[in-house]
Each structure stands twice: as C-alpha cells, then as structure tokens.
Chain A
Amino acid sequence: MTTYTEDTSTAYASELPVRLRWAEHAPAVYKAMIKLDTAARQGLDPKLYELVKIRASQINHCALCIDMHTKDALAAGESVERIILLNAWEESRHYYTEKELAALELTEAVTVLTDGFVPDEVYEKAAKHFEEAELAQLISAIAVINAWNRFGVTCRMTPGHYQPGQHA
C-alpha cells in the first residue's frame, strides 16, 4: 500500500503541527486511559469494537483516531467496503449484522449527547442484541473512544504515522 507520505511527486498541503504532546505532559492520565481502553474492550468482538471506534471518530472528526482504527480494523480482517460505507451505514444495512447496526445506532446516540438524550428505542434495540454485561462493555467502549477523540482533536494529533498494532 502506497501512503501519501511515500508519494513525493504530488504537492500535498503541509502537515499541521501537533499542538500538545499530552501523554508526555500527563503520563498518569495516559496510563489510566490505556488501562480503561483495555478494560472496555474485554468481551467485545474485535471487529465490532473497531467499527464503533471508527464511527465515533468520524462523528467527532478525530483524524488520528480514524487513521488508527481504520488501520487496526483492516489488520483485524475487516473489509474495505464495510469501512467505506460506515459513514452511511443506515443506507448500507446489508453490509452489517443486526447486532452491529444496533451497536452503531447506540454509538451515534451516545456520541452526540448535545442534541438530546439516548432515545429509548435506540437503547432498547441495543439491549435486545447485547446481554447486560456486553452492553456495559459497549457503552464503556463508546465513552472511551469519545475521550480519545477529545485528546486527539484538542491536541491536534496528526494522522498518517500510525502502524497497525503499534500500541498493542
């Protein structure tokens, strides 16, 4: 795969500088985030987990997180089509299982809290496909990626440098 960084013949815009290397300035916070992330993913299907992470990162416009989780998803065997269509999953339902769709719907509702609460029908649909412990893990995973997105965007962590499995 040729990445844009290897393509020197095209005059791309210059890469924005990182605002703040937050993990170096708040190492205890970074460590706690890693622990939380590890705890949140327990019991969740790795492919579903990456779909949830990519979708929240799309909504929150976190470039680093989209770069990272798309690469991790591909490395985990995810299909290119499912990643491409994720931004329009509602109209691409036949690419996903009902369980994945319920998780994506919950991801959106939980990510966009500013527009209102998590609707009953969205929660109930997820509760139908996920048993309680798994649902708790899913909600935690959504909360954690929302936190990562906030670090990524605020500190303007630049995309393009992540290698799959780098933080594994």
Chain B
Amino acid sequence: MSALSAAAKKGLGDPALAELVMIRASQINHCAFCLDMHLTIARKSGVSEKQLDLLEAWEEAGDVFDERERAALALTEAVTVLTDGFVPDEVYERAAARFTDAELAHLTGLVAVINGWNRVMVSRRIPPGGYAP
C-alpha cells in the first residue's frame, strides 16, 4: 500500500495538491487517522491554513483554490462517492482538460489508494494522532 501511495504521489508530481486530494477523500470517508496524518503533512508541505480551513467547502471558496485544484477536487469527490453513481463526464472532462493523461492516471491512483487507506484505518479503528512525520 505504501509503495502504491508513493508511486501515485510521485507520478502526480504536485505534493501540495496530493495532500489536498487525500484530505478531501478522508473527510468524505470520515477517517480520523488519515485526516490527522495528511493535515500534518500538508502543513509541513506549506499548504496554506486558508486552503485547509476551506477544503470541505472548496466549491464555494472563491479563488482560494485555482481551477486545476478545483478540477482535481471535483474528481476526488466523484471517485470517492461511487455508490451514488458513476464519475460524470463533465467532472472527468474538467480534470482531463487540466491534467495530462499521465497526471490524470496518477491522480486517479492517488484517490483510489487513499480510499484504500481510509477503509483499512476506519475498519480497524486506528485512532488519530499516531502519525509522526
């Protein structure tokens, strides 16, 4: 799983965006351990407090997130909540317009793997706070 995360993150080539994506998925999946871990990493990577504060309401957050980040977050939400339907064409196309095929493949991988981690941590009820950078 760690190798998978590392490969996806490396291929995306945007550590700050990677953290935003992983935090957003962990919010949706209610993974306390993952939120604690990725918020810690995000702060260390220089992601702004304003972005972290407003991430849950990114759609209404004006210019706090740029169009590339917004496209990635929209895709993250669609890919995370598969039970409600498929990944809509407009969401996919919005991301495809701002990411290369290789970036998009890695972004999808990143969302898939954080969804995997969220499931392992929630199932096993791993408490938050155990992560040390």
Q: When chains A and B are docked, how far (Å) is the Cα of A149 from the Cα of B10?
A: 22
Given A110-B122, A143-B116; A117-B30 close (CB under 8 Å): yes
Tell me whether B124 and A22 are in contact (CB under 8 A).
Answer: no
* CB contact between A140 and one of B87, B102, B111, B120 (< 8 Å): that residue: B120
Tell me whether B79 and A154 are in contact (CB under 8 A).
Answer: yes
A116 nearest in chain B by CB position:
B30
Q: Does A158 interact with chain B (Cβ within 8 Å)?
A: no
Tell me whether A60 and B82 are in contact (CB under 8 A).
Answer: yes
List A residues 122-168 near B (Cβ within 8 Å): 123, 136, 139-140, 142-144, 146-151, 153-156
Tell me whether A139 and B104 are in contact (CB under 8 A).
Answer: no
Specify the main secondary structure of chain A where it touches its partner: helix
List B residues 1-47 near A (Cβ within 8 Å): 1, 3-4, 7-8, 10-11, 28-31
Partner-contacting stretch, out of A7-15, A26-34, A81-89, A91-99: A26-34
Tell me whether B119 and A142 are in contact (CB under 8 A).
Answer: yes
Q: Does A47 interact with chain B (Cβ within 8 Å)?
A: no
Tell me whether A123 and B123 are in contact (CB under 8 A).
Answer: yes
Q: Does B97 interact with chain A (Cβ within 8 Å)?
A: no
Residues in A neighbouring B52, C-beta threshold 8 A:
none
Q: When chains A and B are docked, how far (Å) is the Cα of A62 from the Cα of B86?
A: 9
Specify the main secondary structure of chain B where it touches its partner: helix
Tell me whether A60 and B122 are in contact (CB under 8 A).
Answer: no
- Shortest CB-to-CB span from B126 to chain A, Å, is 11
Q: Does A1 interact with chain B (Cβ within 8 Å)?
A: no
Interface size on A, residues (CB 8 A): 45
- Shortest CB-to-CB span from A24 to chain B, Å, is 8
Given A25-B102, A36-B1, A114-B81; A150-B108 close (CB under 8 Å): yes
Q: When chains A and B are docked, how far (Å) is the Cα of A61 from the Cα of B1?
A: 23
* CB contact between B92 and one of A19, A25, A136, A146 (< 8 Å): that residue: A19
Residues in B neighbouring A155, C-beta threshold 8 A:
105, 108
Tell me whether B116 and A147 are in contact (CB under 8 A).
Answer: yes
Given A29-B105, A61-B86, A147-B112; A118-B7 close (CB under 8 Å): no
